[in-house]
Amino acid sequence: MGYVDGILKNIKYSLLNYIVVNGFKFLTRIVFIKTLSIEYLGITGLFSNIFVMLSLAELGVGPAMVYALYKPLAENDKETVNSIMLLFKKMYLLIGGIILILGLIIYPFLDVLIKEETEIKYLNYYYLIFLLNTVISYLWSYKRSLLIADQKQYIVNNYQSVVQIAVSVLQVIGLIFGFGYFSYIILVCA
C-alpha cells in the first residue's frame, strides 16, 4: 500500500469510527444520567481529569516513538525496529510505574479534592480502579505506535472502535438492569 493510500485509509476509518463511537458514547451518557445521580457524573469527571493530568508524565514519548520508527520501517530494518520497540517498552513501563506512584500519592488526599460530603459508597475503590486502568494501558500502548508509524492506524482505530462500542452496549445494559456504577467503571477499564 502506498503512503498516500495509507493516509487516506486512516482518514476514512478514523472519521467513520469517530462518528459511530461518539454516537454510542452519547447514548451511554444519556442512560448514565437517567439511572445514576449527578454525583457519579462529577466523580467520573474528577477521576478522569486526575488521570489525564498524570498522563502528562508521558511527555511526548508516543510521537517521538512513531517518528523514530519511520525510517527503519521504510528501510525494512527489523533489527533497529526491534531495538526501538524494546526501548519504548521499557520507557512505557517506567511511565506506568510513575503514574502508579503518583496516583497512590494522591489517593490519601481524595477527601481534599472532593469538597462536599458524598453519598457514593466505595469511592476509594472506584479511584483505584481508574488508577489501575490508566497504568495497565501503558503496558501495551507502545505497540500501537508500531502500527501508526507503519501507516496502519486504521487497524488500531477499528479495534478500539469495536471494543468501545461493545463496552458502551454493556454499560447501557448494566445501567438499565441496575448493576450500578461499579459495573460501569469496570467496563471502562476493559
Q: What is the CA radius of gyration of the chain?
A: 19
pLDDT tens per residue, range 67-125: 888 899 889 999 999 999 999 899 989 999 999 999 999 999 988 888 777 778 888 89
Rounded distance, CA 24 to CA 167, Å? 9
Rounded distance, CA 129 to CA 11, Å? 33
Q: End-to-end distance of the chain based on CA atoms, in angstroms?
A: 32
The closest of 138, 4, 170 to 59, measured between CA atoms, is 138
- What cell does 139 get? 503496558
Furthest C-alpha separation in the chain = 59
Q: With 0.85 as the threshold, say if the pTM is over it.
A: no
pLDDT at 162 over 60: yes
pLDDT at 189 over 70: no
Of 26 and 120, more confident: 26
Give me the percent of the chain exceeding a pLDDT of 90: 33
